[in-house]
Amino acid sequence: MITYLYWGLVFFLAIAALVFIGVKLNNLKAGLVTTAVILLVGWAAYYFHFQQVFVKRYGGVMTVTVPNGQHHISATWKDDNLWIENYDPATNTCEFSEYSRGNLLEGKVTIKNCSPLMPGQPPQPRQP
């Protein structure tokens, strides 16, 4: 619901700019440029920031894909950032990474020799 309100506000501002600048001030070129800038800034703000905030605080839908060859272990929120832990059996490492659209300001922690207990697998013996 909050997402619909956000996009409604963005489109309202874009149309208002087009009507006010393009029609009332009789400058259609400036109105179209302003409308395009409003839509671009609104999309970038949603894509890079607001989507996670809306999902965590107000409910919503977000899709994250587990990389090929890895197994998902857990996910948790730290403030407004989503942290995801995946296991890579090829390298026997667990990767705890911050999910960020566009890979901006994305943190990552790698745990070597992780060997988590996965469903259907017997426990691996520890190396001395």
Tens-digit pLDDT profile for residues 70-99: 999 999 988 878 899 999 988 989 998 888
Query: What is the model's pTM?
Result: 0.67
Instruction: List the domain boundaries for the chain.
Output: 2-58, 71-112
Residues 6+ apart with CB under 8 A from 91: none
Residue 111, CA distances (Å) to 40, 48, 108, 115, 116 in order: 39, 27, 10, 10, 11
Does residue 11 carry a pLDDT above 60? yes
Sign, CA torsion 110/111/113/115: negative
Longest CA span, the chain: 79
Count Cβ atoms below 10 Å from residue 96 Cβ, excluding itself. 17
